[in-house]
C-alpha cells in the first residue's frame, strides 16, 4: 500500500504566523508516517474539518478543506496565556495575536532600558540584578554618595584647610515607551564642614528632555532645566574681597525639530536661558547685591547637514541671539544688552561603540547696545567625542568656546576657550580607574586685563563591592594663573561609598 503524505496546510499569514504553521505541519507529517494510509486519511479529515470536541466530517472538495482549515484556526481555543496589554482590538486568532505583538516590537523606536551595570533588561529568576526601580512606565536609578574629604586652598602666600562630609544624590528616570522618550536627570551635593572655612551651601541641577517621534522623518525635542551653583573664586566677575561668592541660578528651556529631507538633515531650534545672581558676602560681613547681573538670553539656531554616509554628516549651522538685562543700565551707567551672531561648520560622526560625536569650527560676534563697550569677536571651536579604542577603555573629550559678559567698568567681557578629557579604564573586573584633565583660557577684550588660565588634573578609583555598593576615592588639583593677580591652587582628596539601585 502506497503511503500518502499529508497535504500542507495553506495558511496565508505574515512571517510570525508562518513559523507557527510550519512547526504544526512538521509535527503532523511525523505522525502521518507512523500511521497506515486509512488512519492517516482519517486524521487529515479530522484536522481539516473537526472543531474542538466535535465529531469529524469528511469532504472530497479541496476548497472546502481549505475553508475548514481557516475556520479551525479561527475557532481553536488559545491554550497558552499571552500578554495582550497594549493591543486594543479583540483577538480570537492566536496567529493574529502573534502578528500584532511582533508588529508592536518592530514599531519600537527606543531600545529597552538596561541595568546600571549593563545586564539584560529581563531579569534572571536566579539572580538579583540591580536594574533600577520600576515606577509605572519609568525606570528610576538613584545613587547616594557619602564622602569624607579635605580641601586645601593656597592664595599667594596664604592658605586655608577645611575638612567636610559631602552628601551627594544622583538620579535618572527614563521612560520605557515604544515611541517617544522622556528622560529626567538630577544631581546635587551638600557639604557639612567639620573644620575650616564653611562652604556648606547646596549645589545641584535637574534636566528633563522629551523626544517626540512625530514621523519617520521628523523628530521633536523639548528640554527644560534648573541649576544652582556657587560662583568660583577664579571667575573673572568674582568679588575680590568676598568670603562667600554669589550663588548663580540658571533656568533653561529649548525646543527643536529635526527633519530628514532625503540626504539632507535639517534642524531648527530655539533656546532660552535666565541667570539670577545672589548677593556676595564681604569679609566685613556685609552683603553686596549682584542683581544688576540678572539677565535673559535667547538664541535661534538653524542647521543643515548632508549625509555622506550614516557615519559621516558634514553640516553648517547659524545662530542669532539677544541678551537683555533686567536693569537697563548697571550701577556705573553701562547698557550691557547685546546681540550675538555665530556661524560654524563641522561634521557629525558615528562609528558605533568605537567613536561618536561632532567637531566644528566657526566665528562669533557679540555687539553691545552701548557704544562705550567694544564688540567681541573670536574664532570658535566646539565639539564632543566619545572614543573607545578597545573594550574597557573610554575617552570622553569636550571642547567649548563662549563669550562671557563682564561686570568690570568699561570692559565688554572675554572669550573663554575650554577643553576637558576624561579617561576611564577597567583595571580589574570590579575595579575602574579614571584620569581627568581640563584647561580654560580666557582672553579679555580689555587689553589692560591679562589673560587667565585655569588648569585641572584629577584621578580616582572605583571599586565595585557589589552591584549596589561602590567604594570611590579621588584626588584633584586646580590651578589659576593670571598676571598681576595672586596665584590660586586648590587641592582636594576624598573617600566615600556610593549606594545605587
- Which residue, chain included where needed, has cell 481539516? 48
Task: Decide which of 2 and 328 is more confident.
Answer: 328
Reported as a pLDDT band with limits 50, 70 and 90, residue 463 is very high
- pLDDT grade for 407, boundaries at 50, 70 and 90: confident
119 phi/psi in degrees, rounded to 5: -75, 165
Query: What pLDDT sits at residue 241?
Result: 80
188, 152 Cβ separation under 8 angstroms: no
Which has more confidence, 190 or 24?
190
* pLDDT bucket at 261, cuts 50 / 70 / 90: very high
Grade residue 99 by pLDDT with cuts at 50, 70 and 90: low
Residue-wise pLDDT for 40-82, tens only, equals: 444 445 444 444 444 444 444 444 444 444 444 444 444 444 4
C-alpha to C-alpha distances, 87 to 111, 118, 175, nearest whole angstrom: 20, 30, 19
Identify the band that residue 86 occupies on the pLDDT scale cut at 50, 70 and 90: very low
Give the position of cell 551627594.
Answer: 168
Of 55-64, 430-439, 456-465, the one with minimum mean pLDDT is 55-64
Confirm if 100 and 113 have CB atoms less than 8 A apart.
no
Q: Count CA atoms closer than 13 A to 99's CA, side-chain side.
A: 14
What are the angstrom distances between the C-alpha of 180 and each of 108, 172, 342, 345?
9, 17, 31, 29
User: Which cell numbers in the block locate residue 496?
Assistant: 566615600
* Average pLDDT rounded to a whole number, residues 305-313: 93
Whether the per-residue pLDDT at 251 is higher than 80: the answer is: yes
Kind of pairing between the strands at 338-350 and 264-277: unpaired
* CA-wise closest residue to 412 among 367, 477, 453: 367
User: What pLDDT is recorded for position 57?
Assistant: 42
Tell me what pLDDT residue 131 has.
64
Q: Is the pLDDT score of 428 beyond 70?
A: yes
Which range of 147-151, 242-246, 389-393 scores highest in mean pLDDT? It is 147-151
pTM to 2 decimals?
A: 0.73
Percent of the chain with pLDDT over 90: 52
Cα–Cα nearest to 214, from 268, 262, 257:
257
Res. 113 pLDDT band, cuts 50 70 90: low
Q: Answer whether 167's CB lies under 8 Å from 202's CB.
A: no
pLDDT higher at 361 or 104: 361
Q: Is the pLDDT of residue 482 over 70?
A: yes
> Does residue 250 have a pLDDT over 60?
yes
How many whole angstroms separate alpha carbon 144 and alpha carbon 161? Answer: 26
pLDDT at 311 exceeding the cut of 70: yes
Q: What is the mean pLDDT of residues 280-293?
A: 88
Pairwise CA distance, residues 296 & 324, whole Å: 5
Q: Decide: helix, strand or coil at residue 496.
A: strand
The arithmetic mean of pLDDT across residues 195-204, rounded, is 84
Q: Do 380 and 364 form a contact (C-beta atoms < 8 A)?
A: yes
* 135: nearest Cα among 89, 175, 187, 184: 175
On average, the pLDDT of the chain sits at: 80
Amino acid at each position: 500500500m502506497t503511503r500518502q503524505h499529508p497535504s500542507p496546510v495553506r495558511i496565508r499569514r505574515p512571517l510570525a504566523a508562518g513559523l507557527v504553521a510550519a512547526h504544526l505541519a512538521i509535527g503532523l507529517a511525523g505522525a502521518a508516517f507512523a500511521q497506515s494510509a486509512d488512519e492517516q486519511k482519517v486524521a487529515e479529515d479530522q484536522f481539516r474539518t473537526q472543531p474542538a470536541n466535535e465529531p469529524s466530517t469528511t469532504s472530497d472538495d479541496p476548497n472546502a478543506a481549505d475553508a475548514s482549515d481557516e475556520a479551525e484556526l479561527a475557532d481553536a481555543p488559545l491554550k497558552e496565556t499571552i500578554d495582550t496589554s497594549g493591543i486594543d482590538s479583540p483577538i480570537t486568532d492566536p496567529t493574529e495575536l502573534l502578528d500584532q505583538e511582533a508588529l508592536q516590537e518592530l514599531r519600537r523606536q527606543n531600545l529597552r532600558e538596561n541595568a546600571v551595570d549593563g545586564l539584560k533588561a529581563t531579569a534572571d529568576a536566579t539572580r538579583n540584578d540591580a536594574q533600577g526601580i520600576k515606577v509605572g512606565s519609568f525606570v528610576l536609578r538613584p545613587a547616594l554618595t557619602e564622602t569624607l574629604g579635605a580641601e586645601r586652598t593656597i592664595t599667594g602666600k596664604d592658605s586655608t584647610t577645611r575638612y567636610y562630609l559631602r552628601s551627594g544624590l544622583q538620579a535618572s528616570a527614563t521612560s520605557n515607551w515604544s515611541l517617544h522618550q522622556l528622560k529626567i536627570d538630577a544631581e546635587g551635593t551638600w557639604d557639612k564642614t567639620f573644620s575650616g572655612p564653611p562652604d556648606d551651601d547646596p549645589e545641584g541641577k535637574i534636566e528633563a528632555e522629551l523626544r517626540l517621534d512625530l514621523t519617520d522623518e521628523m523628530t521633536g525635542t523639548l528640554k527644560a532645566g534648573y541649576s544652582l551653583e556657587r560662583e568660583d573664586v577664579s571667575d573673572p566677575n568674582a568679588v575680590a574681597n568676598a568670603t562667600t561668592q554669589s550663588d548663580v541660578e540658571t533656568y533653561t528651556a529649548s525646543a527643536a525639530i529635526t527633519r530628514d529631507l532625503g540626504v539632507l538633515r535639517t534642524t531648527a531650534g530655539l533656546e532660552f536661558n535666565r541667570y539670577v545672581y545672589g548677593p556676595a558676602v564681604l569679609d566685613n560681613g556685609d552683603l553686596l547685591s549682584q542683581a544688576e547681573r540678572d539677565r535673559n538670553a535667547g538664541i535661534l539656531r538653524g542647521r543643515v547637514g548632508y549625509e555622506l554616509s550614516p557615519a559621516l554628516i558634514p553640516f553648517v549651522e547659524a545662530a542669532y541671539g539677544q541678551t537683555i538685562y533686567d536693569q537697563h543700565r548697571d550701577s556705573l551707567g553701562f547698557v550691557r544688552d547685546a546681540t550675538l551672531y555665530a556661524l560654524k561648520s563641522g561634521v557629525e560622526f558615528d562609528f558605533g561603540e568605537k567613536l561618536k560625536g561632532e567637531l566644528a569650527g566657526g566665528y562669533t560676534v557679540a555687539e553691545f547696545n552701548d557704544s562705550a563697550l567694544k564688540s567681541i569677536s573670536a574664532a570658535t571651536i566646539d565639539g564632543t567625542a566619545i572614543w573607545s579604542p578597545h573594550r574597557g577603555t573610554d575617552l570622553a573629550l569636550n571642547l567649548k568656546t563662549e563669550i562671557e559678559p563682564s561686570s568690570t567698568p568699561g570692559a565688554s567681557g572675554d572669550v573663554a576657550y575650554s577643553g576637558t578629557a576624561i579617561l576611564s579604564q577597567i583595571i580589574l573586573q570590579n575595579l575602574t580607574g579614571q584620569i581627568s584633565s581640563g584647561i580654560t583660557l580666557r582672553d579679555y577684550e580689555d587689553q589692560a586685563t591679562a589673560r587667565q588660565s585655569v588648569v585641572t588634573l584629577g584621578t580616582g578609583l572605583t571599586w565595585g563591592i557589589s552591584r549596589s555598593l561602590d567604594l570611590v576615592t579621588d584626588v584633584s588639583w586646580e590651578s589659576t594663573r593670571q598676571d598681576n593677580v595672586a596665584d590660586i591652587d586648590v587641592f582636594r582628596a576624598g573617600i566615600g561609598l556610593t549606594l545605587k539601585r
